Amino acid sequence: MNYVITKNNKTLSFVLMGVGILSIVYGFATDSLRAWGSLLMSNFYVMAIALAGVFFLAVQYVAEVGWSVQIKRVLMAMGTYLPYAGGFLILIFAVGHHDLYFWTHHEYYDKASPEYDRLLDGKHAFLNMPFYIARLVLYAGIWSYFALMLRKESLKEDIVGGVINYKKSVKLSAIFLVLFAVSSSTSAWDILMSIDAHWFSTLFGWYIFAGMFVSGLTVIAMLVIYLKRSGYLPNVNDSHIHDLGKFMFAFSIFWTYLWFSQFMLIWYANLPEEVAYYAFRQDHFKAIFVLNFLINFFCPFLILMTRDSKRIKGLILFIGSIMLIGHWLDVYLIVMPGVVGEHAKIGITEIGTTCFFAGLFLYVFFNSLSKAPLVPKNHPMLGESLHHQI
Amino acid sequence: MSKQIFAIFNDEDVLMKSIKPLRGTGVNIKNVFSPFPIHGLDTELGLARTRISICSFIYGLTGLSLAILMTWYMMISDWPMDIGGKPNFSYYKNIPAFVPVLFESTVLCAAHGMVITFYLRSKLLPGVTAFVPDVRMTDDRFVMQVELEDAATEAEVTAVLMKHGAEEVKEYGK
């Protein structure tokens, strides 16, 4: 059975994209710095969700998981957004790098200039234009390639049958996971940490990965529930939803763990070069700083704690929406204070720009979801998923 | 206490399939012992959900409260110390430093509390003889504990159990 795109899906994604384009235009007309920051953070936020889908898919293959077979096509459809996200990533940097990243300014590397910056010069071997652009292209290329290849193998499996394509997918996933382990960290340094180019944190890559994975899992759970409610995926039962809820719960705590580990060490050691990042955010964005921690930890922790709550679809949708807002604030707090400074606000520009990327994501997602059967036909572990019970 | 008899099964599939018809004929199944977890057995037996998670939550809260009290008393009230230029005169300003202690204490109390509760509930204490109807239940046999309404029906129930795949039916420890 294939997914059939409804009129509402199309209207929703086009309205979101339309609102987004208007907001981007409005942003550039009023305050271009905010518009660039919004573009960077929104693209990263939505890209992270798609990337988490592919990561989750690869984990399912490598761990030879049975229960998730029915939702694998959802993960694959999420992955097809990555080429677009990668394109935007490179485009936004290529055009907006001067506004977004101060390390791209030439005067910091000129010893004769009064602006000469010894710290940035020391990082020049890593943070320079050709190498940086090469890395961005590499990330976009690797992620998109594996996302599309895994989908291709699975679609071939539908026709050919047997386990050849499955074994190939396991191999592809294993290679992807190794590359992702490195690229998730380095891409976090490149895309987000280099906004505050003087600052550094060794935990940053993991912290970004945790945020990425938990927002991705939330979107997976919400999309599966949406499909289930629209009458698709008839064999997805409460146990599948329960498992997805467990993932959301566990990785919210994992995110908190990394968020706190990074924060506490810097807070305790109190070294000026490290503390600058948090001091600036606490001085000017205290409310968002506290809110970020509260809604990303306490809401999922207390609400998703019991077994019953993970099996109520409406509750997962509700807490999922809160968590998505929470992790949007998290990305906001990483990007905007660095790009815009103390005058960063949350307004039409920021929310609208995210709407654009969310609309595009939904459009690409539903489009590729409708092009293949919703459940893999010849997956060797399909039976286990159909009768999943915990 | 009414009389208990124990039916021994050789195969978990046979055991699983026998539960429904046995209950249909009025056999009162109290428990099943197995060398390994059998998927779907608790729902088939209609066992009530475990309440150990509620205990765990309460133990966790206890641990958290104790740790808050301990860190507050030691570090703020009794003997404030200047560590790393952070004078300990107020609790909330220093709370990040205490979070690891609060976390560990919560986990410690929740985990140990759960284990102790489980042992108490299953009557497994040092010096107590464990309830083992048949030693083979720790190796390769599955044991079904059946409670008899009255002793007169023993032969009848035994016959029904044997009919549904039981290898043998015996009394405790014999």
- The more confident residue out of A211 and B26 is A211
d(CA B168, CA A140): 65
Contact A44, A193 (CB under 8 A): no
CA distance to partner chain B, nearest, from residue A305 (Å): 9
Contact A152, A371 (CB under 8 A): no
Contact A224, A74 (CB under 8 A): yes
Q: Is the pTM of this model over 0.80?
A: yes
In this complex, the residue of B49, B85, B96 whose CB is nearest that of residue A264 is B96
Write down the pLDDT at residue A314. Answer: 95
Residue closest to A74 by CA, chosen among A90, A56, A89? A56
Place of tokens 């690409």: A364
For CA atoms A150, A155, A157, A158, the dihedral sign is: positive
Q: Output the CA angle A312-A239-A245, nearest 5 degrees.
A: 55
**Which pair of structure tokens corresponds to residue A214?**
């938990």
- Would you call B53 and A268 a contact, using CB atoms and an 8 Å cutoff? no
- Helices marked H in chain A: 7-30, 32-62, 72-79, 82-100, 118-122, 129-160, 164-191, 204-229, 238-269, 272-284, 286-293, 299-303, 313-339, 348-369, 382-386
Within 10 angstroms of residue B153's Cβ, the number of other Cβ atoms is 14
Asked if this assembly's ipTM is beyond 0.85, the reply is no
According to CATH, what is the number of the domain B4-35+140-170?
3.30.70.260
d(CA A338, CA A100): 8
**Which pair of structure tokens corresponds to residue A307?**
């077994």
Element (H, E) at B43: helix B41-45
Within 10 angstroms of residue A45's Cβ, the number of other Cβ atoms is 24
In this complex, the residue of A267, A305, A389 whose CB is nearest that of residue B40 is A389
CA distance to partner chain B, nearest, from residue A109 (Å): 36
Q: For strand B4-9 and strand B142-147, is the pairing parallel, antiparallel, or unpaired? A: antiparallel
Q: Cβ contacts of residue A224 below 8 Å, gap of 6+?
A: A71, A74, A233, A236, A240, A241, A244
d(CA A138, CA A185): 14
In this complex, the residue of A268, A305, A306 whose CB is nearest that of residue B97 is A268
d(CA A77, CA A234): 19
CB pairs under 8 A between A and B: 23
Residues of A in contact with B49 (CB under 8 A): 307
Residue of A nearest to B42 (CA): A390
A16 by Cβ neighbours in 10 Å (0-12 / 13-18 / 19+) ranks as buried
- Residue spans per domain, chain B: 4-35+140-170, 52-121
pLDDT tens-digit profile, chain A (390 residues):
889 999 999 999 999 999 999 999 999 999 999 999 999 999 999 999 999 999 999 999 999 999 999 999 999 999 999 999 999 999 999 999 999 999 999 989 988 888 999 999 999 999 999 999 999 999 999 999 999 999 999 999 999 988 999 999 999 999 999 999 999 999 999 999 999 999 999 999 999 999 999 999 999 999 999 999 999 999 999 999 999 999 999 999 999 999 999 999 999 998 999 999 999 999 999 999 999 999 999 999 999 999 999 999 999 999 999 999 999 999 999 999 999 999 999 999 999 999 999 999 999 999 999 999 999 999 999 999 998 887
- Would you call B97 and A264 a contact, using CB atoms and an 8 Å cutoff? yes
- Would you call B39 and A307 a contact, using CB atoms and an 8 Å cutoff? no
User: B 81-110 residues with CB below 8 A of A?
Assistant: 84-86, 96-97, 99-100
CA distance to partner chain A, nearest, from residue B55 (Å): 12
Q: Cβ contacts of residue B28 below 8 Å, gap of 6+?
A: B146, B147, B148, B149
Place of tokens 């039409």: A348
Residue of B nearest to A307 (CA): B53
Contact A150, A379 (CB under 8 A): no
Buried b (16+ CB within 10 A) or exposed e, A157-174: bbeeeeeebbebbbebbe
Q: A307 at the B interface (CB within 8 A)? A: yes
Residues of B in contact with A260 (CB under 8 A): 96, 99
Average pLDDT over residues B128-136: 87
- Would you call B53 and A307 a contact, using CB atoms and an 8 Å cutoff? yes
Write down the pLDDT at residue B173. Answer: 67
CA distance to partner chain A, nearest, from residue B96 (Å): 6
d(CA A267, CA A281): 13
CA distance to partner chain A, nearest, from residue B128 (Å): 33
Q: For strand B142-147 and strand B168-170, is the pairing parallel, antiparallel, or unpaired? A: unpaired
CA atoms within 13 A on the CB side of A342: 6
